[in-house]
Amino acid sequence: MDMIIFNGKGYTMDNNNSRFTAVSIKDGLIYSVGSNEEILREKTSKTKLIDAQGKMILPGFNDSHMHLLSYGYSLEMVDLNDCKSVNEMKSRIRKYITENKIEKGQWIEGRGWDDNLFLDKKMPSAKDFDEEFKEYYIVLTRTCAQVSVVNTKVLKLAGIFKHPVQIEGGTIEIGCNGDATGILTGLATEIVYKIIPKLTTEQIERAILKASNKYTSSGITSVQTDDFELLRAGTFRDILKVYFKLDRENKLPIRVNLMLHLATLEEIKDFMTLGLKSGDGSPYFKIGPFKTIIDGSLGVRTAALREPYSDNPEDRKNNAGEMYLTKNELRELHNYAFENGFQLVSDAIGDRAMRSILDVYIEILEKNKGKDLRFGIDHCQITTEGIIEDFVKYNIIGGLEFIFLSSDIDMLEDRVGEKRRKESYNFKKFYDLGCVIAAGSDSPVEEYNPLHGIYAAVTRKTYNYLPEGGYNPEQKISVEQGIRAFTTGPAYATFEENKKGSLEVGKYADIVILDEDLYEAEPDHIKDIKILKTIIGGKIVFEAE
């Protein structure tokens, strides 16, 4: 026997939620679960013994929606999270330039600013950065990743400064004089991303490893990641090359299902020449579903709504968000991808975006009745009448990012009004109607620690524990539902429920040991519980100091 963990408070998360005190591991798989007495009989002189000291043992967490490469790369950018003003953004840029000895004429990227945290709630603009940083190319991405502010030097290089031509699916914000202000939304951000110097394969590898090692410290053992969206990384071939190399050399710290964000029919056809389809790969690296991003962010009013936003009355006719793809484009892309062996998943935040992709899915599903297809939609925030019902009717997986609620509570009613806010972030309704939930973080958009997501769904509060009693408290879910959303749900979403998601004989020995029992903890304390050990394939990949 390779390893035995004993004296634990274990939850298998099997269909009966069976309990155990000890588990044995052999050849990277769960060999047996049971009592201390039963399992310790299996030890040999070579068995590694781990005394769990009464701590909680769970299956490793599985994040069903993130951007692993983007997060890894963001660790080398200017960190703009929690900035309270443009001046604070500028201060961090100055510090970054000094500490990293950035020479004039170089690109400086930052990520994480949120104008909703500014006292004046005002968006930054190119003018804010032009004078002090005129010798640098400045690109600063908002926390939602749907908006960027760039300086005039970048606007001129991209050819979009003087009276720019607008594009579908995005906006180049224009000032009174007809010149670009520096704010780019939606697909307009790609105009700049495409001219930023591409990452080398060495930089891609470093970013993947950095992010993966961070994730394991939060008990994450598997992820579904959209990495093709990082346009600065080059082509999908560049990214695949690095993943296949890391997998071949047994260097991937976590198990990865790679979502395929291929924006055009030409890109899908190009990818198909590789002969790969969803599910291909190894236990550590698999080709995942075809992925589309349909709309923007609620925070900057680019999520596509059926009715206009409630907090911009001066522009109600044209203020219902942005669809990045038309209905015909959605239909063409998804039909082609499905017909060529790909599972389907989409990002949709607003109810108009969700309705659009649901209609496309339903057309395909109606033609393929009886097939186990497991299509999914991630985010699912503004779920007005009929949307959740169709998830259940057509067995569509709800990819919920619980943590968004904690961030969005303070602005939600302003954005969508009283009626729609009661139809938003309705986590419990998904469960009550019988939908399979696969939770994610959308890291680096939000905090990746799954315990923060469980906290948000169980308490329905901000990070400051407000409002008392929770926001729309009738939509709170149970701790067990929260755990399953990060274990059994994502495993089902990737057709891997027989390999991961629960601690049962023959499944991967992917295990997390926590400092406290989530079932017994005060709900407000859940996000502060510590991870003691993360084990993947029977190997300890993280251990708290």
Phi then psi for 532, rounded to 5 degrees? -95, -45
Binned at pLDDT 50, 70 and 90, residue 313 comes out as low
Considering only 25-39, 198-212, 222-236, 464-478, which range has the smallest mean pLDDT? 222-236
Look at residue 231 in the predicted model and tell me its pLDDT. 77
Three-state DSSP class for residue 171: strand
Task: Tell me how far apart the alpha carbons of residues 47 and 217 are, in angstroms, rounded to a whole number.
Answer: 24
Higher pLDDT, 186 or 364: 364
What is the 3 state secondary structure string of 179-221? EEEEEEEECCHHHHHCCCCCCCHHHHHHHHHHHHHHHHCCCEE
Could you report the per-residue pLDDT of 336-355, keeping only the tens digit for each? 999 999 999 999 999 999 99
Give the mean pLDDT of 2-12. 98
- In single-letter form, the type of residue at position 237 comes to R
Binned at pLDDT 50, 70 and 90, residue 318 comes out as low
Look at residue 315 in the predicted model and tell me its pLDDT. 56
% of the chain residues with pLDDT over 90:
91
| Residue 99: C-alpha distances to residues 95, 150, 383 (Å) | 6, 22, 45
Other CB atoms within 10 A of residue 215 CB: 30
**Is 90 exceeded by the pLDDT of residue 248?**
yes
Give the mean pLDDT of 448-456. 98
Look at residue 168 in the predicted model and tell me its pLDDT. 85
Other CB atoms within 10 A of residue 170 CB: 20
Name the residue among 297, 322, 324 with its Cα closest to residue 407. Answer: 297
Give the mean pLDDT of 136-153. 94
Residue 291 contacts by C-beta under 8 Å, 6 or more apart in sequence?
226, 228, 259, 260, 261, 262, 345, 346, 347
% of the chain residues with pLDDT over 70:
99
CB 244 within 8 A of CB 277: no
Could you report the per-residue pLDDT of 150-196, keeping only the tens digit for each? 999 999 999 999 989 898 888 999 998 999 999 999 889 989 988 99
Phi then psi for 382, rounded to 5 degrees? -100, 90
CB 110 within 8 A of CB 147: no
**Is 90 exceeded by the pLDDT of residue 493?**
yes
What are the structural domains, with CATH classification, of the chain?
3-54+507-543 (2.30.40.10), 69-193 (3.10.310.70), 294-477 (3.20.20.140)
* H-helix or E-strand spanning residue 453: helix 450-459
**Is 90 exceeded by the pLDDT of residue 394?**
yes
Average pLDDT of the chain? 95
* 42 burial level (CB within 10 Å; 0-12, 13-18, 19+): middle
Could you report the per-residue pLDDT of 52-63, keeping only the tens digit for each? 999 999 999 999
Give the mean pLDDT of 198-203. 93
Phi then psi for 325, rounded to 5 degrees? -135, 140
Binned at pLDDT 50, 70 and 90, residue 316 comes out as very low
Look at residue 311 in the predicted model and tell me its pLDDT. 86
Look at residue 379 in the predicted model and tell me its pLDDT. 97
**Is 60 exceeded by the pLDDT of residue 317?**
no
Name the residue among 150, 155, 154, 160 with its Cα closest to residue 183. Answer: 150
| Residue 482: C-alpha distances to residues 85, 160, 321, 457, 477 (Å) | 35, 45, 30, 7, 7
Classify strands 61-66 and 19-20 as parallel, antiparallel or unpaired.
unpaired
Give the mean pLDDT of 196-207. 94
DSSP per-residue codes, 481-522: HHHHHTTHHHHHHTT-TTTSSS--TTSB--EEEESS-TTTS-
Residue 118 contacts by C-beta under 8 Å, 6 or more apart in sequence?
83, 84, 85, 86
